[in-house]
Structure 1
Amino acid sequence: MEHTTHTTHHTRRPPAVVRTRVPRPSPGGAAARWHPRRRPAAGPGARGPGGPRRPRLTGLGCGVLTTVGMVAAAWFCDLLGGAATFYGVLSVLTSAAAALWVRPADLICAPVAAPIAFAAGLVTTAGPVDTVTELALRAPWLFAGTLTAAVIVLLRKAHALLRARLRRRPPVRQSPPAG
């Protein structure tokens, strides 16, 4: 008897294909052509009925947006003679835009990027030495922008958690009327 290292080859059946989607006729009207039903786009970046896709930023994109926005705001305010209030308002608006546009997986990046971008904008116009003084003088605007981003991010996260919880909850059955 000869010994081999190979196991006996058994003919296997291919695994059964499980179809999880309901087939429907294609839009062309040909009844012979069927394709799985497409799930409607869901999620925060989904296209609404007839509307365009909302922009979604990654964490890096959020930081780039706020930094570029604040550097441009600093240069613009420098042209206006150093309008500190206008720079602060633009900081709050830029922080809010970043918090609204960042994707749900990177929500933490918006409140972190806001103060970094605020300081980066000041460095480009005031220089590294005067930036510390400018940060101290404009601290309320710095905190307002950071707080705006943090509140928007917290509200978005709470809304997403609530929506997920409601989606998981089984439907409530009403008892039949007594009588």
Structure 2
Amino acid sequence: MEQHRTRPPQPRSRRPAPLPPQAGGAGDRTGSGTVYRAASRSGRPVPPVALTLRRGLLAARRAVEAVRAMPNPRLTGLGSGLFAAAAMLVLASLDRLLLDGSMVAFGLLFLPVSALTAFWVRPADLVTAPVGVPIAFAVGLLPIAGGSDGFGGHVMGLVTALAIHAGWLYGGTLVAGLIVTVRKVKLMARKRAARDAARGARPPHRRVPAA
């Protein structure tokens, strides 16, 4: 009898699993390009103009925070004038001792004193700030105005200093006037908003028909 040859069962061939798309393939071109651009952008050096602008913004923010952290008193009209005069007299004395009476330093110090006077005066006496600031400038000129001996000589020296350095006087008065104007406008807007809110909160008045 013939014997049939038997072959051992052969394992079935399995299909290979699909490979993941490569980074440079067509399906991932957009993602790899974006990552590459982001990496290239982050590696570029920042131009000096941007650094200077960023530092200026940080300095301005710190200055605003410092101004907000300062005390915020409310002075009367007389108090604000006395504050400005006393501050300018002290600063002029220090200017004479340290800088030999420099008018440039005195004028530069007069501007922030004018601003603080306009900020610290109470809302009811806003008009007095631009009036008291020039008086404070004249009082501060007494130690550094110079002039000959005698009362008349000091008066002439004061008048001459006021005439020569009137630009600083006008500048400080303008700063105080602008600040006072802005504060006045804001105060009027707040009063108007409060008045409108009070009117809106009131119930509508209904007329009772006559019998």
TM-score, with length taken from structure 1: 0.64
RMSD: 2.0
SS of structure 2 residue aligned to 1:97: helix
Q: How many angstroms apart in 2 are the aligned matches of 1:113 and 1:101?
A: 13
Question: Is the aligned partner of 1:57 residue 2:84?
Answer: no
Contact 2:81/2:136 (<8 A) preserved: yes
Q: Which of residues 126, 146, 161 is equivalent to 2:173?
A: 146
Query: Once the 2 structures are TM-superposed, how far is the Cα of residue 53 of structure 1 from its aligned partner?
Result: 7.2
- For the structure 1 residues 83 and 52, does the alpha-carbon distance in structure 2 shift closer, same or farther, using more than 3 Å as the test? closer
Q: Which of residues 145, 154, 159 is equivalent to 1:132?
A: 159
2:129 corresponds in structure 1 to 110
Q: Which of residues 49, 66, 77 is equivalent to 2:95?
A: 77
1:161 corresponds in structure 2 to 188
Amino acid of the structure 1 residue aligned with 2:133 = A
SS of structure 2 residue aligned to 1:124: coil
The percent identity for this pair of structures is: 45
1:32 corresponds in structure 2 to none
Amino acid of the structure 1 residue aligned with 2:155 = P
Q: Which runs of 5+ in 1 are unaligned?
A: 1-50, 172-179
Q: How many angstroms apart in 2 are the aligned matches of 1:74 and 1:52?
A: 23
Task: Answer 1 or 2: which has greater helix percent.
Answer: 2
Q: How many angstroms apart in 1 are the aligned matches of 2:182 and 2:104?
A: 27
Amino acid of the structure 2 residue aligned with 1:155 = V
Query: Once the 2 structures are TM-superposed, how far is the Cα of residue 129 of structure 1 from its aligned partner?
Result: 1.9
Look at both structures and tell me which one has the larger radius of gyration over its CA atoms.
Answer: 2
Q: Once superposed, which parts of structure 1, at least 4 consecutive aligned residues long, lie more than 3 Å away?
A: none
Q: How many angstroms apart in 2 are the aligned matches of 1:102 and 1:116?
A: 16
Q: How many angstroms apart in 2 are the aligned matches of 1:140 and 1:52?
A: 28
Query: Once the 2 structures are TM-superposed, how far is the Cα of residue 61 of structure 1 from its aligned partner?
Result: 0.6
TM-score, with length taken from structure 2: 0.54
Q: How many residues align?
A: 122
